Amino acid sequence: MMLSVLLLGILVVLLYYSLSGRSKRRAIPSPSGFPLIGNLHQLSLTPHRSLCKLSKKHGPIMLLHLGRIQTVVVSSAELAHEFMRIHDQCFASRPRMKASKFLLYDSKDLAFAPYGEYWRQLKKLSITQLLSAKMVQSFARLREREVAQLVQSISSIASDGGVFSLSEVFNWFTSGMVCKAVLNYSISDEKKKLLAEMIHVNTVYFVKAFAEDYFPSLRWMDVLLGLEGKLKRHHKKWDAVLDAMIEEHISSSEERGSKGISFLDVLLDVQKKDFSSVIHLTKEHIKAILLVMIAAGTDSSFALLDWTMVELVRNPNLMRKAQEEIREIAQGEATVREEHLSKMHYLKAVIKESLRLHPPLPLLLPRECIQDCQINGYVIPKKTRVLINVWAIGRDPESWESPEEFKPERFLDCPTDYNGNNFKYLPFGAGRRMCPGIQFATHTIELTLANLLCFFDWKLPDGLKIEDMDMTECGGLSCYRKQSLELMPRFRA
C-alpha cells in the first residue's frame, strides 16, 4: 500500500513538472498550411514580400513548414538582435542546400560553409588578408582607373544624344571591376557580359524550389525533372571559366611582375604556405572562394548602383542636391577621387537610404540552429532554419518614419552605419555571418556614383514620365528591378 502511494506521488510530481514545463514553451505563431507541402504555396517569386505580408498577420516571428523543413522567419529589429547578437553562435551555421553543394564544390566557400573550424579559419583569412582595410585601400587606384574608363564610355554615348541602358552598363562594369581586383588583370567585354549572365543564373538557382531542399528523400524528382542536370551543366560552365582564370593568372604572373597583388595571389600564396592544418586549400577550395567573391561582389554592386540611380531619377530634387554637393567638392578636378569621398555626406546618405529600401539580399542567407535555443520564450529546435527579412525590417513603421519614402535626410547627422550594430538597419547582415566585403563594396559604389553624378545630367527618354517607371522586382537571391533603366545622359565638361 505504502509503495503504491509513493509511486502515485512520484507520478503526480512528474506530471506536474511535465505540464508546467510545457506551459512555459510558447508555440511560435504559424500560418496554417496544407498537408505535405506545409506553407510552400505561400511563397511568391519575391519571397521577402510574401513573408512580410504574412508577418503583418502572424507577428515578427513565425514558424513556417516548408515541406519537411521547419523555418523561422524574423521580421523585427528586436528579434533580429536576439538571433544575430545575443544568440549569434547558436545560429551561425548554414543549412545544406542543393545549389551550394553543386555550384560551390560542396560549400567550400565562406558564405555557405557550415559553422566550424574550417569556416573560422577562412573568416580569419578574409578579415586579415583578403578583405582587410589595407587590401581594400590598395585597390584605390584600380577603382579610379576603372571608373574613369566608365565615364569616358558614357561620355561618347552622351555626345550622340542617344538613349542607352544604364543597367546593362552597370552589369559589365561591376563584373569587370570585381574581376580586376580578384585577378589583377582585365577581362574582355565579352567575358564581362558572360560572367554577368552566369551570375544572374546563380541567383535564380539559390532560391529555386529543388525538391531535395524541402523533402530530402525526393532527390529523384530533381533528377527526373531535369533540374539537377541543369544545375550540373551550369556548374560545369563555371568550373571551366574558373580553371581558365587560374591558369591565365599563373601563366601571366611573371609578366605582371610586382604590379600590385590580387585576391587570387593571396589564395595561391596561402595554398603554398599551408595556412593551417585545418585550412589546406585545394584547387576546389580556391574555385569556390573565387566564385563567391566574383558573384557576390558583382551582384550586390550592380543591384545597389541600379536601384540608387532609379531612386534618384524618380526624385530629381534629391539628385540635384547630391550633384551640387559632389560638384562643389570636386570643382576643377578632371575626376572625382577617393580622397574626395569623405566630405560627401549627402551622397553617403543617399546610398544608405537606397540600401534601406533595396538591400542586395532582402532575405539574408539562411542560418541553421546548431543546438536547441530559447528566444523570447520560444524554443527553437536544433536544425531549424532561420530567415532574417531585412527588407521588412528596413520598412518597419515601428523603426522608420514614412518607411516607404526615399528620404536620404534621415541618415544625415545620424550614427547609423553598415556595420551590423543597429538592428533596424542590416543591409549587410550582422554577427559572425556578416558580409566581410562591406568596405570594398561601399568604396566602389561611392566612387562610381560620385563620378556619374558629377559629370553627367540624367533624364528619362522623351515621352516617358517618372510615374511610368515600373518598380517591379525580379525573383532571385538578389533583388533586381525587372525593367532595365534606360536614360539619356548629358555630359558636363
How far, in Å, CA of 322 to CA of 328, rounded?
10
At 158 the pLDDT is: 81
3-state DSSP assignment of residue 284: helix
Average the pLDDT over 129-153 and give the result.
91
Residue ranges per domain, the chain? Answer: 23-491
Strands 385-388 and 69-74: parallel
User: Across the chain, what does the average pLDDT equal?
Assistant: 90
181-195, 315-329, 440-454: least confident range: 181-195
Selection from 165, 47, 73, 172 nearest residue 474 by Cα: 47
3-state DSSP assignment of residue 63: strand
Kindly report, residue by residue over 74-100, the tens digit of the pLDDT.
999 999 999 999 999 999 999 999 999
Binding site members for heme: 435
Checking if the pLDDT of 255 tops 90, the result is no
Checking if the pLDDT of 21 tops 50, the result is no
At 260 the pLDDT is: 63
More confident residue, 164 or 186: 164
Amino acid (one-letter) located at 302: F
Kindly report, residue by residue over 204-241, the tens digit of the pLDDT.
899 888 999 999 999 999 999 999 999 999 999 999 99
- pLDDT range class, residue 149, cuts 50, 70, 90: very high
Domain spanning 23-491 has what CATH number?
Answer: 1.10.630.10
Amino acid (one-letter) located at 143: R
Query: Could you please report the per-residue DSSP string of 337-373?
Result: -GGGGGG-HHHHHHHHHHHHHS-SSSBPPPEE-SS-E
Kindly report, residue by residue over 97-124, the tens digit of the pLDDT.
999 999 999 999 999 999 999 999 999 9
Kindly report, residue by residue over 369-417, the tens digit of the pLDDT.
999 999 999 999 999 999 999 999 999 999 999 999 999 999 998 888 8
Kindly tell me the burial class for residue 371, based on how many C-beta atoms sit within 10 Å of its own C-beta (0-12, 13-18, 19 or more): exposed
At 301 the pLDDT is: 94
At 16 the pLDDT is: 43
At 476 the pLDDT is: 80
How far, in Å, CA of 469 to CA of 345, rounded?
28
Asked if residue 449 lies in contact with residue 305, where contact means CB atoms within 8 angstroms, the answer is: yes
Residue entry with cell 572562394: 289
Say what percent of the chain tops pLDDT 90.
73
pTM (predicted TM-score)? 0.92
Distance of CA 407 to the CA centre of its chain: 23
At 340 the pLDDT is: 96
Under 8 Å CB-to-CB from 216, ≥6 apart: which residues?
68
Amino acid (one-letter) located at 13: V
The dihedral formed by the CA atoms of 429, 354, 447 and 183, expressed in degrees to the nearest 10: 40
Under 8 Å CB-to-CB from 208, ≥6 apart: which residues?
99, 227
Selection from 256, 257, 254, 206 nearest residue 234 by Cα: 206
Binding site members: 435
Helix 263-273 and helix 166-183: axis angle, to 10°?
A: 30
More confident residue, 120 or 476: 120
Amino acid (one-letter) located at 71: T
